[in-house]
Amino acid sequence: MPDAPGLELIAQEINAAHDGTVIETAHERGTATLIVDSERVLEALRWLRDTPEHEYRFLASVHAADYLPGEPRFGVHYELLNMPRVERVSVKALLADPASPSPATSSASPAGVSGGGSNGVGTLVLPEIDSCVELFPTADYQEREAYDFFGIRFRGHPDLRRILMPEDYVGWPLRRDFPIGGEPVLFTHNEAETPHWYE
Amino acid sequence: MADEIKIPMAESGIDAGAEDPSLAVVERTAAEAAERAGTDEQVMTINMGPHHPATHGVLRLVVSLEGERVLDVRPIVGYVHTGIEKSCEDKSYWKVIPFVERMDYLSYFFQMEAFCGCVERLLELEVPDRARYLRVIHMELNRIHSHLVWLGTTALDLGAISMFWYCFRERDRILDLFEMSTGQRMHTRYFQVGGVFEDIPAGFAGKVRDFCEEMPERVDQYEALLDRNEIFLHRTKGVGIVPRERVLELGVTGPLLRAAGEPWDLRKVSDYLPYGDFDFQIPVGTVGDGYDRYRVRLQEIRESVRIIAQAIDGLPEGPFIADDRKVVLPPRDELGTSMEALIHHFKLVTEGFRVPPSELYNPIESPRGELGCFVVADGSAKPARVHFRDPSFVNLQLLPEMCRGGLIADLIQNLGMLDPILGGIDR
Amino acid sequence: MRERQLRARDLLRGDLEGVELEEYVEQSVLTTRLESMQAWARANSIMPLTFGLACCAIEFMSMVTARHDLARFGAEALRASPRQADMLVLSGRLSIKMAPVVRRLYDQMLEPKWVISMGACSSSGGMFANYAVVQGADKMMPIDIHVPGCPPRPEALLHGFNKLQKKIRGNPDLGWRQRYNAIGTEEWARVEPGSPSAEALAAAKRFSELEPYEPGVSSSTAAGEQD
């Protein structure tokens, strides 16, 4: 990974090219992280991929995390790799949940739209971020997985639909407020609630 | 809440009212493929469903065919989705280890290493050398085991049924070794945060050396069966070639990338384990067809045998797990004498150790490619998020590229050479 | 040997009579009921479906291979089509997306058919008590044998397979609940269903005579208890 001064340099150069993209840098435990504005993710990724000295051309992973009860709630992480120099850089974009009662106070502006759809049924308000499939085709399945589990909509993704859950599943399973499911373990003291379970 | 179901599907063009939503995928695949081919011929869409004799696990492929030519392949996954990542958020860190090892069920030691390595980096905990060498030995044995199962099942798909029996004969020997050192054949939960669970028993080193002596000639036997077999050559040579740049763009790693000509192996470039102490080579292919992928994996078995032989000879003495009592269970003989050890044991077993709030992505080289573990720690005894970047999941995006334009029989071969493990894809 | 040949020649000539004829018949003819013979034949020629979901499938495969040979029990012919198979081995975790597919496979199999639920995940959901795994395949299809383990050793699966064969032949092993007349989660044997056993009564009496625990009261005053 680039060392701490190198990371600061990268952040400054990105901000010089596209102002206001990198909000913060973090360099700890051997990893280098750039925290970027969620509306400018594509610019940051394109800069990292195309600039001659920093050709992070390999996207190892796109994944999301739910930081409830922290704000902003969702984080989308991009793990970039420069193969010739064996350097890794993480790019992190934080998204607020537009459906929450008190909108986020972070710098990432929530872009929740009401998904009117052709049936005009209900409003599904999902956090949105640009899809990086044109920059890195490997993000195809991984962004679909983030959508499937967290409900993060990737604008511009060619085929955003559920990948691991059944196609008609309701809910975003890996959000922290989604119940884990399953059944309670039967003991003698609670087996009366499930009569004749042994048959 | 029930209304929300309509919106995502309507956006992606699937009719939510349809009886079987996945049928709509099938129809759309057919329409798109016909459009792309620009053909008036009847495009036949067949569904190689989750249960099929040739799929490795429950992979569903919707294949658009024009005669026997494949126009498009669309994989549908999720049939063995187990919610492992969600379950992990509910368990303390050491209880997560049995969960994550069941993801990619042929490379269980690698998943354990990815997770334990990630937590060790988060805790900044130093693993003793003996434990690192033991981890290398078990992981390389697991790599051989995974490649043997791959070879047996792929040859079975291609019709060379005898290979299945020979490969599983060796696989049983490896599982005997695992049983000797860890007590369990598969899913051993041998790696713990800080080292390994137990030291190897007496006689293990001898048995491993015997195995290392016999394995190369067994690989010779496999090569004698398949290397110059005319049917095998016809089926694999020149089939499924994807240019190296496209393979890199799709994020493919592991033997598939190496067969396409890119010499990239995380064992050589990262220092997550002391691979630098061993002398081994990385097999790299030239053309990137099915035959290259087969040769790369077979050669990797040989190189892994070399690594194991060097590791077992150079196994350093010392503790097999770290000393930090806040993270690692104290040895049992101390529990009778030391009150502190008892308290540590109690806290670790009931609550578990706490990890300071931070997050980390830890990649390692598994038999299928780059296996990365991403852990978000929030200061409590349970991880807030565990995500695995599974190599098979990303490599699956290569399948349509490999199969387009080929025959349907080549699709079976490509699927075999891709080595997908649905447990890892679906998690 | 020569004697047998002479006797067979006599039989064919019609020269054997009376006791000799009866003895000959007893020694060379096997009598049984048709159902028993049919059951014996079915048990020894099971055709499993090549069906694997997850990790248990690998151990199932290794049961089929040379070391723990399944072929010696007659189940060598693994069939890929459910129309041709008669045993389904649910090897692996059953996710909610796969459940209708498995049910359809089961329905496509022809009678008589049997199901072995291999491993903890298909028997009861295993370690995965979450939204994505069916907590036990017997919620949606009849299961004949459950084999515990995660994954069960091939020898364990063979043991389960042998139990299935016994079941097919008509003398199934009793489950422990039938053997001990237990109900639900109770582990005490009952003499007859509905009445507790003598040990259970004695244990209940002992527990009812214990003093309730008061924090701060010294345990020496409650001395004399058995445990």
B164 vs C contacts (CB less than 8 Å): 65
B135 or C221, which is more confident: B135
| Predicted confidence (pLDDT) per residue in B309-330, tens digit | 999 999 999 999 888 888 998 8
Task: Identify the H or E element spanning C179.
Answer: helix C176-180
What burial letters (b/e) apply to A43-70, b meaning 16+ CB within 10 Å?
bbbebbbeeeebbbbbbbbbbbbbbeee
Region of residue B57 (phi > 0: left; psi between -120 and 50: alpha; otherwise: beta): left
Residue C108: pLDDT band (50, 70, 90) is very high
Mutate one of B23, B52, B55, B80 to test the C interface: name it (highest C CB count within 10 A): B80
Domains and CATH numbers, chain A: 4-193 (3.30.460.80)
Structure tokens at C152: 């069960």
How far, in whole angstroms, is CA A85 from its chain's centroid?
26
The Cβ of residue A42 has, within 10 Å, a number of other Cβ atoms equal to 19
Q: Is C187 on the interface with A (CB under 8 A)?
A: no
Q: What is the ipTM of this complex?
A: 0.85
Mean predicted lDDT score pLDDT of chain C:
80
Task: Tell me if B110 sits within 8 A of B104, measured CB to CB.
Answer: yes
- Is the Cβ pair C80, B50 closer than 8 Å? no
Domain ranges of chain C: 2-31, 40-173, 176-208
Q: Which of B190-194, B369-373, C4-8, C142-146 has the lowest mean pLDDT?
A: C4-8
Give me the sheet containing A74-82, strands edge to edge.
Answer: A22-28, A31-36, A87-95, A74-82, A58-66
- Is B346 touching C (CB cutoff 8 A)? no
C positions 117-156 inside 8 Å of A (CB): 125, 128-133, 135
The span from the CA of B152 to the CA of B218, in Å, is 13
- Cα–Cα distance measured from residue B274 to residue B280, given in angstroms and rounded to the nearest whole number: 12
A91 or A23: whose pLDDT is higher?
A91
d(CA B71, CA B404): 5
Which residue from B79, B87, B149 is facing C97, i.e. has the nearest CB? B79
Q: How far is C158 from chain A (nearest CA, A)?
A: 25
Question: Per the omega criterion (within 30 degrees of 0), is the bond before B75 cis?
Answer: no
**Phi then psi for B111, rounded to 5 degrees?**
-65, -40
Chain A residue with CA closest to C139: the answer is A197
Q: Is A26 on the interface with B (CB under 8 A)?
A: no
Which residues pair with residue B153 across a beta bridge?
Answer: none
pLDDT surpassing 50 at residue B137: yes
Q: What number is the average pLDDT over the span B255-274?
A: 90
Residue C79, both tokens: 């069939």
Q: Return the closest-CA partner of residue C36 out of C172, C164, C168, C161.
A: C168
Confidence of residue C193 (pLDDT cuts 50, 70, 90): low
Shortest distance, CA A20 to any CA of chain B (angstroms) = 24
CA A137 to chain centre: 16
A63 touches chain B (CB under 8 A): yes
Nearest CA in chain A to B370: A60
Position B191 pLDDT exceeds 90: yes
Q: Which of A27, A61, A147, A163 to mutate to test the interface with B (most CBs of B within 10 A)?
A: A61
Distance (Å, whole) CA A89 – CA A77: 10
Q: Cβ–Cβ of B9/A136 closer than 8 Å?
A: no
Write the residue in A124, A138, A161 that is nearest to B4 by C-beta: A124
Contacts of C133 in chain B (CB under 8 A): 82-83
Question: Across the interface, do B57 and C93 touch by the CB < 8 Å criterion?
Answer: no
Q: Which residues in chain A have Cβ-Cβ distances shorter than 8 Å to B87?
A: 180
Q: Which of B51, B58, B164 sits opposite C65 (nearest CB)?
A: B164
CB atoms within 10 A of CB B225: 15
Q: Assign domain C40-173 to its CATH architecture.
A: 3-Layer(aba) Sandwich (3.40)
Who among A165, A182, A191 is closest to C135 (CB)?
A182
Written as six digits, the tokens of A40 are 């400018």
Choose from A183, A194, A197 for mutation: most chain C CBs within 10 A.
A183
Structure-token match 């009849």, residue found:
C142
A70-116 pLDDT tens trace: 788 899 999 999 988 888 999 999 988 887 665 444 333 343 333 33
- Which of chain C's residues have a Cβ under 8 Å away from the Cβ of A182? 125, 128-131, 133, 135
| Residue B254 φ then ψ, to 5° | 90, -160
Name the band, by pLDDT with cuts 50, 70 and 90, for residue C216.
low
Kindly identify which residue of chain B lies nearest to residue C127, measuring between CA atoms: B99
- Identify the closest residue of chain C to A193 by CA–CA distance: C184
Residues above pLDDT 90, as percent of chain B:
57
In angstroms, the separation between the Cα of residue A59 and the nearest Cα of chain B is 6
Give the β-pairing of B69-76 and B60-66. Answer: antiparallel
Higher pLDDT: C19 or B234? It is B234
What band does C212 get if pLDDT is binned at 50, 70 and 90?
low
- Under a CB-based contact definition with an 8 Å cutoff, are residues A103 and A97 in contact? no
* Predicted pLDDT at A118: 34
Q: Which domains does chain B have, with CATH numbers?
A: 2-76 (no CATH), 84-389 (1.10.645.10)
With CA atoms as reference, the chain B residue closest to A49 would be B249
Q: Which residues of C27-64 are buried (b: 16+ CB within 10 A; e: fewer)?
A: eeeeeeeeeeeebeebbeebebbbbbbbbbbbbbbbbb
Is it the case that residue B341 has pLDDT exceeding 50?
yes
Q: Is the pLDDT of residue C190 over 60?
A: no
CA distance B216 to A47: 48
Chain C CB contacts of A191 under 8 Å are: 184-185
Say what the pLDDT of residue C222 is: 42
Residues of chain C in contact with residue B171, where contact means CB-CB under 8 angstroms, are: 62
